[in-house]
Amino acid sequence: MTGIYEDILGTVGDTPVVRINKLAPDGIDLFVKLEAFNPMGSVKDRLALGVIEAAERDGSLKPGQTVIEATSGNTGIGLAMVCARKGYPLVVTMAENFSVERRKLMRFLGAKVILTPASEKGTGMLAKAIELAEKHDWFLCHQFENEANADMHSRTTAPEILRDFDGRRLDYWVTGAGTSGTLKGVSRVLKKERPETKVIVCEPDNAPIIGSGAPQAYLDNGMPAKSHPYFRPHLMQGWTPDFIPKLAHDTIAAGWIDEVAPIKGDDALEYSRRLATEEGIFCGISGGATFAGAMAIAERAPKGTAILCMIPDTGERYLSTPLFEDVPEDMTDAEKEIAASTPRYRFDVAPEPPPADGKAAPDAATPKAVAFVDQVVTSTDEPVVLFALEWCEFSWSIRRMFADIGVAYRSVDLDSVDYQEDNWGGDIRAALRERISVPTIPQVFVGGEHIGGCTETLDAFNKGRLQSLLSDSGLSFAAKDVDAYSYLPKWVHPR
């Protein structure tokens, strides 16, 4: 992509094709199309833009109308981007077993995310979306049967592939199947323009709903009537809902699929990790699964074969999934050995003392600062006071706790712009230190009584002392049965 775009939507599509070097068998030209280069990191950005713009053109989506869709996450993230730019409220329904990162991304983009029980599977989150759309007269995207989904790929993804492989061999095109918009939209173009190219569809080996050949029951509007009998829970988020989408059914009926490749979950994890460590390509579980299918083809194909594999998204939205469960947060033994190879900046060695000519402590507090601290600490209008640093994680731990229990407080952020002139924040800190003989920040007072720093305040909450002081100061708060240490940063206290 080059040049200046009028808005973010202009950056959807035109994703790169990259050669695989270390992992490709000798004599095989293996390529991947990296859909993570879309602005929200997945192939579903294309779907989102195509569906919304088609609905705008035909009038089924009214200005300001709420958009709703059932999604495992990537479609919802793409829709959240499109709706944010175009000004449509968005509600997403999503089964609770999909990754937490996806929920947060959608909410960060302004969407509302309604979770449905994992036991109800994809049909459950779809049924909830339908129910909400009918109740509130919202626009339902119908991504699993909406022709605008496939049309977008016929207009963008397929021509990009034809352009990039113009004058080159392309023997196999390998993809997964979620909504099957990519599958239908690209395969119908390839079968017309590059009939020699075989279309390979990957699906979980334990949920072979396409490969089984068993029919899917549909309602008159093309939506699934019930779960497919061969569906089982599987690892590949975004692949294979518990039904065969109409777009996939159309592709099967047209005869555009040459082979269905069953993929093991372990192979999906392995190739996602190997793509990262051996090729520098960062993708999710579904990308690793699709690449496993491409590798199976590559290992049996004759030399000179050219294979293109779709990699649908990036790996960052899988941090809470099994893909990252073996990636440690703390230093490994090998990393500790590297750290110990030089003498300084180590957890197992005390820091060096300050230079002998350095100041042992800041200057004494000014009378003005002493009076300010006394006035703030003893105020009856704002009995809860937090002396803090604006972006200190421990200060934020206290803020999170106060916000969670609904307590109003005054925060004196000593390093903020408001306290920088003439080192006013430093003077206040010196006055505070003289008052309590403690140099560290944050420090908390309730009703004029000094509670302490971060851990002391958390301890006071866990023991009930903080709640008593709040009550004595006439403050109401929400009773919470929670370990206050859960408010600490994860690197200090994993939640």
Which residues are identified as catalytic? 44, 286
Q: Closest Cα to residue 75, out of 67, 64, 66? A: 67
Strands 443-446 and 67-70, by their bridges, are: unpaired
CA triple 171-175-176, angle to 5 deg: 155
CA triple 495-40-99, angle to 5 deg: 30
**Hey, is 83 helix, strand or coil?**
helix
Residue 288 CA neighbour count, 13 Å, CB half: 26
**Hey, is 177 helix, strand or coil?**
coil
Q: What sign does the CA torsion over 143, 201, 261, 252 have?
A: positive
Helix axes 246-254, 181-193, angle to 10 degrees: 20
d(C-alpha 182, C-alpha 158), whole Å: 9
CB count in 10 Å sphere of residue 140: 19
d(C-alpha 49, C-alpha 312), whole Å: 16
**Hey, is 9 helix, strand or coil?**
helix
d(C-alpha 170, C-alpha 281), whole Å: 22
What residue has token string 């979306």?
A: 129
SS percent in the chain: helix, strand, coil, step 5:
45, 15, 45
Q: Closest Cα to residue 53, out of 133, 178, 112, 141? A: 141
**Hey, is 256 helix, strand or coil?**
coil
Residue 259 class from Cβ within 10 Å (0-12 exposed, 13-18 middle, 19+ buried)? middle
Q: Closest Cα to residue 148, out of 79, 247, 82, 232? A: 247
Cα–Cα distances in angstroms (integers) from residue 302 to residues 196, 298, 299, 307, in the given order: 15, 8, 8, 11
- Hey, what are 324's tokens? 């990252």
* Alpha-carbon radius of gyration of the chain: 29
Find out whether 78 and 103 touch, Cβ atoms under 8 Å.
no
